[in-house]
Structure 1
Amino acid sequence: MTDTGAAIVGTGLMGRVHAEALARIGVPVVGVVGSSSDRAAASGLGAYYCSFEEMLDDPRVRSVHICSPNHVHHAQAMAAMRAGKHVICEKPLALTPAHASDIVTAANDFGVVNAVCFISRFYPLCQRAARSVRAGDLGSLRLITGSYLQDWLSKDTDTNWRLDPELGGPLRTVSDIGSHWLDLVGFITGQRVESVMADLTTALPERSSTDDIAGILLRFDGGARGVLTLSQVSPGRKNQLAVELSGADASLRWDSENPEQLWTGHRDRPNQLQLRDTGDYPAGHVQGYPDAFKAFFRAVYDAIDADEPPARPDYPTFVDGFEQVLLAEAIAESARLETWVSVQR
């Protein structure tokens, strides 16, 4: 098949990130869809469609990247799969567990490659951390702690469509950045969250409908306990996802603002600071956020080139997206009831 490639739905930041990463791995972008033709034309992303339906009708479009506001993910993913397209969706996969379940079922029924953009898994040292845990280097995991802190909404003049629950959903900080932390921890440890105790806070009263800050206690199915802090109103923290694992024999820590370093802690010998020694560039040539997207898309497009989902995907799928929707539901319920809530699977 010639002259085929991807279409991108959404012309904001994530649409541009997807377009750049696809270009870097040699996947052509056939066209983009915006909220209007004018926005699509002004995006600078190349050829564009006048409507979502026009894009779906184009036989050159093999895969659809959904980078639109959260409230349309369900409808757009379902329509793309019905049209026989492979689908890569930004998170959240959907705003409700029922809609997320619909999407997972449809992906299985249509047999399309499907993925959700939890790209933190693809930092080389996060991959190394996962291998270390699976090899038993840390011993049994006891405590999983960390945070995801940003400052882009710390002023009362800061605004974005994500602040509107009709567009972004009822949870903002938890869904927007907490899902990345929770997915990464699940990937590294191989453990799932069983139950949560959550406290959600809105620091700026005019945003009373969505959360600025979250504090969450976690119980994992492997026996570990967890503590997670989330904030989009922490001045000076631009995009810091930090994870620390405490095992019976050793500890690990990784931080997205220092992605080239993995700290290992020991009781009876010196601690270690390991630098990245694998990846696309030599050590000392920093690999960061765009490179994680590139690695993610490579894995997904290996499956798309085979024209079917692999038996054991090495990338996050709609099942992983569904998991985060279920976790968000439990977190919201816990905050409402002010008690521990089990994750309903």
Structure 2
Amino acid sequence: MKKLGMGLVGPGFIAAHHLDAVRRLGDVEIIGIAGSSLESAKKRARELDAGRAYASYQELIADPAVQVVHNTTPNHLHKEVSLAALRAGKHVISDKPLASNVQESRELYEAAREAGVAHVVTFNYRSHALVQQARAMIAKGKLGAPVFVHGCYLQDWLTDEQTYSWRLDPKLGGASSALGDIGSHWCDLAEHVTGARITAVLADLHTAVPIRHAPAESTKAFAKSKSAQRREVKITSEDLASVLLRFDNGARGCVTVGQVLPGHKNDLRLEVSGRLASVAWRQEQPNELWIGHHAQPNTLLSRDPALLDPSARGYAHLPAGHPEAWSDAFRNLMADAYAWIRGGGTPETKPAALPTFADGYRNSLLVDAMLKSHAAGGVWQSVEEQLKPKRNEPKQRRGTRE
């Protein structure tokens, strides 16, 4: 099988995980990377053993050896890079959020439909085996009619007021911080697992650390600056959020999101309760699925390929008792992405668990509705389906480039 050539734009924190995942697939060739300058790209290419360095993302996209573009740039560059790749007929795998706002996300969604190529957003939590198990159980009615969907995504990396990141700058990260960064993951997971859509939200947003002492130089996400020179920065985006939810199947829900909560490292939890049973999954304990009952003992399902639904079994690669975690789910997402690419990027060949630009656009609508709800004083806000996108598009096939 001929290897597909991939190029990566934006070699920051997440880039190494993209490269690791595609290396594990075995049928992808890393052609090169592009950064903010040729010098920085050369440095990162050496550090990551990532092929050649390009002077610009335009040069990378123009290379005929690059058939798939991975967009791992800061949020404000997502639209620019992804749109250029789509217009060049390249398949695109973009980090979330799809873009900085609803308008840009809509433009990318429409461009992806017209391009007829594979388009993927890295909502990677979908790709855990037990997440797919929970989805299968709900789809087969084992929980009964869903009643309540709730959970949280809690972190503590922004607890210290001396910590600052481009994610907190609205010009670079967008109007939302915590919701756009990690709340987006939870919302995508909740809709994917339940098969239902959030139709209305009531949001209460808060900035617990309104003033931060940022280093004089720019700071990458999750990085600590050693600079002694500091400047005060007023923070306008939320670092805490509580949101009530209504779903189109009649279920109610709520989610709490925060990044200033000591002790919570990457605490994503999702629970779905139906009339017959409940299921709960926690990202920091990804190999266990809690199943709750009313008139019989609760159970704990360990990740064991032999015990999983056939639709979930392909996402578990090791025998029972051998833990699989975040990087394995990320690899699963890339496996689905490249399977879709090899299948031509058509609706018929898309793996069911794979998130597309339609899901990225959908997610932007959710976050936007939450921002509007809070700005209006904490009132219910409908989630407007501006294009009423279908999840399994694009409209037409242009074919895969090999």
Q: How far off its partner does 1:309 sit?
A: 2.5
Q: How far off its partner does 1:192 sit?
A: 0.4
Q: How far off its partner does 1:105 sit?
A: 1.1
Q: Give the corresponding residue for 2:134.
A: 129
C-alpha distance 246-39 of structure 1, shift in aligned 2 (>3 A)? same
Deviation per residue, 1:264-302 (Å, 9 max, x gap): 010111000010012111122211111111111111101
2:324 to 287, 297, 305: 287
Q: Give the corresponding residue for 1:341.
A: 381
Structure 1 contact 114–309 (Cα < 8 Å) conserved: no
- Provide runs of 4+ in structure 1 moved above 3 Å: 1-4
Q: How far off its partner does 1:305 sit?
A: 1.3
Q: Give the corresponding residue for 1:7.
A: 7
Distance in structure 1 (CA, Å) of the matches to 2:349 and 2:54: 34
Structure 1 contact 5–63 (Cα < 8 Å) conserved: yes
Q: Give the corresponding residue for 1:28.
A: 29
1:28 alignment partner, SS class: strand
Distance in structure 1 (CA, Å) of the matches to 2:208 and 2:102: 27
Distance in structure 1 (CA, Å) of the matches to 2:36 and 2:323: 35
Q: Give the corresponding residue for 1:104.
A: 109
- Are residues 1:183 and 2:188 paired? yes
2:120 to 107, 115, 131: 115
Q: Give the corresponding residue for 1:330.
A: 369
2:202 alignment partner, SS class: strand
2:53 alignment partner, SS class: coil
Distance in structure 2 (CA, Å) of the matches to 1:10 and 1:259: 29
Distance in structure 2 (CA, Å) of the matches to 1:3 and 1:292: 22
1:269 to 265, 275, 296: 296
Structure 1 contact 193–221 (Cα < 8 Å) conserved: yes
1:246-261, aligned counterparts within 5 Å?
246-261=273-288
Q: How far off its partner does 1:159 sit?
A: 1.4
Q: Give the corresponding residue for 2:345.
A: 308
2:333 to 296, 311, 325: 296
Structure 1 contact 3–60 (Cα < 8 Å) conserved: no
1:238-253, aligned counterparts within 5 Å?
238-253=265-280
Q: Give the corresponding residue for 2:264.
A: 237
- Are residues 1:227 and 2:260 paired? no
Distance in structure 2 (CA, Å) of the matches to 1:216 and 1:272: 29
2:14 alignment partner, SS class: helix
- Partner AA of 1:150 in structure 2: Q
Q: How far off its partner does 1:248 sit?
A: 0.3
- Partner AA of 1:342 in structure 2: S
1:61 alignment partner, SS class: coil
Q: How far off its partner does 1:42 sit?
A: 1.8
2:54 alignment partner, SS class: coil
Q: Give the corresponding residue for 2:38.
A: 37
Structure 1 contact 123–259 (Cα < 8 Å) conserved: yes
- Partner AA of 2:162 in structure 1: T
Structure 1 contact 303–310 (Cα < 8 Å) conserved: no
Structure 2 contact 168–235 (Cα < 8 Å) conserved: no
How much identity, in percent, do the aligned residues show?
A: 42
- Partner AA of 1:289 in structure 2: W
- In structure 1, runs of 5+ residues without a counterpart are none
- Partner AA of 2:294 in structure 1: R
Q: How far off its partner does 1:208 sit?
A: 2.7
- Partner AA of 1:245 in structure 2: V
- Are residues 1:217 and 2:244 paired? yes
Q: How far off its partner does 1:2 sit?
A: 5.5
Q: Give the corresponding residue for 1:208.
A: 235
Distance in structure 2 (CA, Å) of the matches to 1:324 and 1:4: 29
Distance in structure 1 (CA, Å) of the matches to 2:3 and 2:285: 39
- Partner AA of 1:271 in structure 2: N
- Are residues 1:60 and 2:65 paired? yes
Q: How far off its partner does 1:4 sit?
A: 4.5
- Partner AA of 1:37 in structure 2: L
Q: How far off its partner does 1:238 sit?
A: 0.7
Structure 1 contact 4–30 (Cα < 8 Å) conserved: no
Structure 2 contact 268–284 (Cα < 8 Å) conserved: yes
Structure 2 contact 168–237 (Cα < 8 Å) conserved: yes
Distance in structure 1 (CA, Å) of the matches to 2:165 and 2:320: 37
- In structure 2, runs of 5+ residues without a counterpart are 212-233, 306-315, 386-402
- The answer to which of 17-26 and 31-40 deviates more is 31-40
- The answer to which of 240-249 and 95-104 deviates more is 95-104
